[in-house]
Amino acid sequence: MNNLIMSAETSLQLINILEKTISPDKNELEAAQTYLEQAALTNFPEFCKGLSEILGHGGNSAVVRMAAGLQFKNSLTSKDPNIAIQYQHRWLALPEQTRAYIKQNILGALGTENNRPSTAAQCVAYVAVAELPVKQWPELIECLASNVVNTSSTEMTKEATLETIGYICQEIQDQEVLQLQANQILTAIIHGMRSNEPSNHVRLAATNALQNSLEFTRANFETDTERNFIMEVVCEATQSTDTAVKVSALQCLVKIMSLYYQHMESYMGQALFPITLDAMKSETDEVALQGIEFWSNVSDEEMDLSIEATEASEAGRVPSRCSRFYAKGALQFLVPVLQQKLTKQEENDDEDDWNPSKAAGVCLMLLATCCEDDIIPHVLPFVKDNIKSPNWRCRDAALMAFGSILGGLEPTTLKPLVDQAMPTLIELMYDQSVQVRDTCAWTFGRICEIVPEAAINEQYLKSLLEALVNGLKAEPRVANNVCWAFTGLAEAAYEAAENAMNAGKDDDGAQPETYCLSQYFEFIVQRLLETTDRPDGAQANLRSSAYEALMELVKNSPRDCYVAVQKTTMVILERLQHVLQMESHIQSHSDRAQYNDLQSLLCGTLQSVLRKVSTEDAPKISDTIMTALLQMFNSNSCKAGGVQEDALMAVSTLVEILGEGFLKYMEAFKPFLHLGLKNRAEYQVCGAAVGLTGDIARALRARILPYCDEIMMLLLENLGDNTVHRSVKPQILSVFGDIALSIGHDFGKYLTVVLQTLAQASQVDVDRSDFDMLDYLNELREGILEAYTGIIQGLKDEDGNNEAGKTCLLALESHLPSIIHFVSTCSQDPDHSDSIIHNCAGLVGDLCLTYGAKVLPLVDAEAVNEMLTEGRRSRVTKTKNIANWATREVRKLRNHATSCVDQMVRSSRARPPDRHVHFVGVTFKSKLRSARGAHAQFCAALTSRAEDPHVLSDTNRRIYRRFRGFVGKGRRLSSLC
């Protein structure tokens, strides 16, 4: 065993170094760290052994032991999950003997430290995290359990051991690893939690460990006796005089409620309700917060259950779990306590603080969503009694209660309630207390969002607008909420006008002539523009909120506000030019950040005004806009990804309104488009550039051709580059489709490489348990389908005289079976999205249009038919329409084939039979192979022809000619299959 132990000399040296890891001298500190890193690299086993010895040796100083433990722990885990796995493998690769020695040291160190939390506990836990999943260290849990239960264990041993258990439960992701030993773990934890445990430290460590073990002790919770026992211990712990234990026990209750809602019935009335109500009333904030959280959590849970119940009843099944409506039953007791807490606002509120008053507001909101109208009788009296109170806390609490419950109420109850409150609310916008004005502005924001029809009520509109415009000049936080209210107001007013306009007609999407804000529009815009210029605009996010409100107002503006929109456009343009000149004045880092934000906001606002600009006006201002944007691309601010992205998006909007007119800027803009496409580090910028490329391709059509070589090269490079974020890649494929459609047969030169790329991308599959990756797979497949669609539509030769196009079509022909195979793969994937079906159906229809009868044997297949059926049954109208169209295109081909055979049989009787019968035979056979359901018709056609009295020579000739062409195509196609 001797060779296992480090030489005393080495050990001393290590101790020296460890002491320096907390040195105030920066050089010493760095030197120590370098040494330790080196030591870990050169001789990892010795290094670990040394550290474990130092940690285990009680004679060493607490600092050194802690540092040793920390170094050891850091060699076992990392925040980066990939590195953590590497470290675990490095540990497991050590000789068993070495590991056993180290484990003995660290396990022995449990309880020998005087500091909290224990370092040894972390060391043991991370070795366990590496070893337990691979079925090593089987005796550990038993050893830990006995540490806790053993009457001779010291307080420190019990505490450190329970901490270890807590860490292990928290860190081991695979719950099956611990399930087998759940009983031992739970026994130890419950032992430490008992009310007769004298040490609060032990109780706390045990209670924290319980929180971490709740997921994998499901089996224990399913058994009545065990559950009763656990619940009893937890409830007892909530009565501890020690706040930390009490809070941790309450946190356990919150979690148990989520995990085991269905088992809580027998504890609710007797224990959980009185315990949590009592906690809510507590003067200790942490305790009160947990009490409130319990009921917020119950509301969440019961909302989920009610959704489940609705879904189940729609699907005609019995829900697997039912709500017991605890929240509804407890309302009358909970609401008064919450309202009491609402009045305990901080005098000087800090946005980041979390206190019972704020938690009570949120809890009321959740209770209202859960219990709906039932909450009204409990809240309204409080609102009425306090809203005019001389005490600002009461007025604010009343407003908060009112604003919070709005979201849960039925529209029929809500509207009269808000109507009635309107005059008082408007008055409160002028309150002397900033808190009250803030809450009032927020309440207006809620009203505009939830009951917009009450907000635009003619009776109060003018005074409401006055109050809001006045609020724009108030403190930044108040003004910020007012901006939000304007956002909702604009949307509500516009929607109302749209609805009124569409009531008589059925065309949607047209712009209404006017709306209720028209006469105030310019004034509001003016005030919002002033707000964006406020010197304190950086506070409470006010500047960006004001710009956001401006954008919404412009977006939702009717025709008669166009002049004001035009004016706003000019203001934004001026500001853009002005801001570009300001760049040289930037001094500090925060100046730069504000300056960049401003540019982003101006680009965003520019987009919203541009969308409203008429097609006649667009060319008049486009030069100025493009000049400003080019200047921006040229400046330093576009080195910040955010600004570059927003500027690219602004160009997209310009492209949209100019269409082909964008061509004249192409030469000047090209370098910046390329820069964007090359910005692989900031994938959002790259993505915006790719999207913009597609927009340009669609707008310029064939005129994008001179720019294609470079663009295609950049796009293909990005596709092949692993450093390019994956989210950009599906977009690139879609843009191939845009370009192909625009340049038609000129895409031929890229065809080979693009088809190859698409074929490769079609092979991609992902980890099905990862939802993000599933989304990605669907996006990628949509991209591929869009690329094929663009290529095929682009090559469809309308005049039929283009040789280059024909060559491309021919080249594509050999890919058709694999394209259809891909369509089948996508549509049969159980995880496919509706858009996949939309794109598949579109592609199938396009193939029919482009290739005609040739593709019939390919598209008239089981999988394609199923895909089309699914599309026709889609809830999405667009998908339904396109699937109907595609079905019809396929059917046309099928019917055409049928009638050809049909008529051919007839003509065969008019002419020398042998040749014609031959033709009929060929087609009939090839059709039989593919056309489902058409068989009967063919048979009927063939047999019924025998008695046909109509023999018309010129028709026959025509049919004969057409038929000959058909058979020829059929032969070529059959060689493809």
Partner 1 sequence: MLSVERSNEPTQRQALYKTKGTFRSQEEKRKHFLEEQKRKRNVNFDAGRNFEEIPEQRHEDAHLSGNLSKKKFGKMLMQSEWMEEVPGDLMEKWYLVPCPVGKRCIVISETKICRGFSLSGKFLFQTKALLKEGKVGRTVLDCIYNRETSTIFILDVILWAGYSMVNCETEFRFYWLKSKFEETPELLERPNAYKFHPLPHALATDTETALESLDFTEKLDGVLFYHKEAHYTAGVTPLVVWLLPFMIAEVLGISVNEEMAQQPESYPGHLEYIAEYKKKQKEKRRRGRKSVEMDTSGSGHDESSIFEESGEPVQEEDELELG
902-921: contacts with partner 1 (CB under 8 A): 902-903
Among the listed residues 88, 217, 251, 762, the single contact to partner 1 using CB under 8 A: 251
Instruction: Report 770-799 residues binding partner 1 (CB under 8 A).
Output: 786, 789-790, 793, 796
Nearest approach, Cβ of residue 895 and partner 1 (Å): 6
Verify binding: residue 891, partner 1, rule CB under 8 A: yes
Taking only Cα atoms into account, the Rg of the chain, rounded to an integer number of angstroms, comes to 37
Nearest approach, Cβ of residue 160 and partner 1 (Å): 13
Nearest approach, Cβ of residue 302 and partner 1 (Å): 16
Among the listed residues 85, 899, 913, 928, the single contact to partner 1 using CB under 8 A: 899
Q: Answer yes or no: are the C-beta atoms of 897 and 966 closer than 8 Å.
A: yes
Round to the nearest angstrom and report the end-to-end CA distance of the chain. Answer: 73
Nearest approach, Cβ of residue 97 and partner 1 (Å): 29
Instruction: Report 276-295 residues binding partner 1 (CB under 8 A).
Output: 289, 293
Three-state SS string across 572-612, please? Answer: HHHHHHHHHHHHHHCCCHHHHHHHHHHHHHHHHHHHHHHHH
Q: For partner 1, which is the closer residue by CB, 111 or 737?
A: 737
Both tokens assigned to 803: 């040789």
Distance of CA 350 to the CA centre of its chain: 29
Q: For partner 1, which is the closer residue by CB, 164 or 220?
A: 164
Pairwise CA distance, residues 810 & 114, whole Å: 81
Nearest approach, Cβ of residue 944 and partner 1 (Å): 5
- Which range in 259-267, 436-444, 767-775, 907-915 contacts partner 1 by CB under 8 A? 436-444
Instruction: Report 408-427 residues binding partner 1 (CB under 8 A).
Output: none
Verify binding: residue 362, partner 1, rule CB under 8 A: yes
Verify binding: residue 50, partner 1, rule CB under 8 A: no
- What are the C-alpha distances in Å from 441 to residues 112, 220, 487, 836? 58, 50, 12, 44
Q: Answer yes or no: are the C-beta atoms of 205 and 159 closer than 8 Å.
A: yes
Pairwise CA distance, residues 403 & 741, whole Å: 52
Length of the chain: 977
Nearest approach, Cβ of residue 681 and partner 1 (Å): 17
Q: For partner 1, which is the closer residue by CB, 353 or 533?
A: 353
Pairwise CA distance, residues 296 & 274, whole Å: 16
3-state helix, strand, coil in the chain (%, to 5): 80, 0, 20
Instruction: Report 106-145 residues binding partner 1 (CB under 8 A).
Output: 117, 122, 125
Q: For partner 1, which is the closer residue by CB, 11 or 734?
A: 734
Among the listed residues 26, 317, 589, 950, the single contact to partner 1 using CB under 8 A: 950
Pairwise CA distance, residues 176 & 711, whole Å: 52
Among the listed residues 15, 67, 156, 649, the single contact to partner 1 using CB under 8 A: 649
Pairwise CA distance, residues 855 & 464, whole Å: 64
Instruction: Report 802-821 residues binding partner 1 (CB under 8 A).
Output: none
Nearest approach, Cβ of residue 442 and partner 1 (Å): 5
Instruction: Report 184-243 residues binding partner 1 (CB under 8 A).
Output: 208, 211-212
Residues 336-355, mask of contacts with partner 1 (x by CB under 8 A): ------------------x-
- Which range in 19-27, 107-115, 574-582, 888-896 contacts partner 1 by CB under 8 A? 888-896
Q: Answer yes or no: are the C-beta atoms of 618 and 657 closer than 8 Å.
A: yes
Verify binding: residue 545, partner 1, rule CB under 8 A: yes
Verify binding: residue 604, partner 1, rule CB under 8 A: yes
Verify binding: residue 944, partner 1, rule CB under 8 A: yes
- Which range in 45-53, 360-368, 458-466, 800-808 contacts partner 1 by CB under 8 A? 360-368
Q: For partner 1, which is the closer residue by CB, 408 or 845?
A: 845
Q: For partner 1, which is the closer residue by CB, 374 or 396?
A: 396
Residue 543: burial class (beta carbons within 10 Å; 0-12, 13-18, 19+):
buried
Q: For partner 1, which is the closer residue by CB, 11 or 545?
A: 545
- Which range in 5-13, 195-203, 896-904, 909-917 contacts partner 1 by CB under 8 A? 896-904
What are the residue ranges of helices labelled H in 721-833?
Answer: 728-743, 748-762, 771-795, 803-813, 816-828
Distance of CA 522 to the CA centre of its chain: 37
Among the listed residues 13, 33, 98, 170, the single contact to partner 1 using CB under 8 A: 170
3-state secondary structure of 509: coil
Nearest approach, Cβ of residue 933 and partner 1 (Å): 8
Verify binding: residue 642, partner 1, rule CB under 8 A: yes
3-state secondary structure of 242: coil
Verify binding: residue 741, partner 1, rule CB under 8 A: yes
Q: Would you tell me how many other CB atoms lie within 10 Å of the CB of residue 97?
A: 12
Verify binding: residue 729, partner 1, rule CB under 8 A: no
Verify binding: residue 892, partner 1, rule CB under 8 A: yes
Instruction: Report 3-22 residues binding partner 1 (CB under 8 A).
Output: none
Tell me which residue of 319, 318, 356, 350 sits closest to 337, measured CA to CA: 356
Quickly list DSSP for 400-464: HHHHHHGGGS-HHHHHHHHHHHHHHHHHHTT-S-HHHHHHHHHHHHHHHHH-HHHHT-HHHHHHH
Nearest approach, Cβ of residue 320 and partner 1 (Å): 26
Both tokens assigned to 19: 């002491």
Pairwise CA distance, residues 620 & 953, whole Å: 65
Q: For partner 1, which is the closer residue by CB, 251 or 276?
A: 251
Nearest approach, Cβ of residue 662 and partner 1 (Å): 14
Tell me which residue of 234, 178, 171, 174 sits closest to 206, measured CA to CA: 234
Among the listed residues 111, 471, 845, 857, the single contact to partner 1 using CB under 8 A: 845
Verify binding: residue 514, partner 1, rule CB under 8 A: no
Residues 453-492, mask of contacts with partner 1 (x by CB under 8 A): ----------------------------x--x--xx--x-
Verify binding: residue 398, partner 1, rule CB under 8 A: no
Rounded to 10 deg, the angle between the 542-555 and 589-612 helix axes is 10
Nearest approach, Cβ of residue 923 and partner 1 (Å): 16
Pairwise CA distance, residues 207 & 166, whole Å: 9
Residues 288-327, mask of contacts with partner 1 (x by CB under 8 A): -x---x--xx------------------------------
Verify binding: residue 725, partner 1, rule CB under 8 A: no
Nearest approach, Cβ of residue 380 and partner 1 (Å): 21
Both tokens assigned to 394: 């009461």
Nearest approach, Cβ of residue 163 and partner 1 (Å): 8
What are the residue ranges of helices labelled H in 457-588?
Answer: 458-471, 476-502, 518-532, 542-555, 562-581
* Torsion sign (Cα): 796, 798, 802, 806: positive
* Torsion sign (Cα): 740, 743, 745, 747: negative
Q: For partner 1, which is the closer residue by CB, 205 or 426?
A: 205
Pairwise CA distance, residues 805 & 809, whole Å: 6
Q: Answer yes or no: are the C-beta atoms of 773 and 732 closer than 8 Å.
A: no
Single-letter residue type at 840: C
Verify binding: residue 884, partner 1, rule CB under 8 A: yes
Nearest approach, Cβ of residue 357 and partner 1 (Å): 10
Pairwise CA distance, residues 709 & 696, whole Å: 15
Q: Which residues contact 622 (CB under 8 A, 6 or more apart)?
A: 654, 658, 661, 665
Both tokens assigned to 676: 């964007």
Verify binding: residue 888, partner 1, rule CB under 8 A: yes
Nearest approach, Cβ of residue 244 and partner 1 (Å): 10
Verify binding: residue 445, partner 1, rule CB under 8 A: yes
Verify binding: residue 439, partner 1, rule CB under 8 A: yes
Task: Identify the DSSP state of 947.
Answer: G
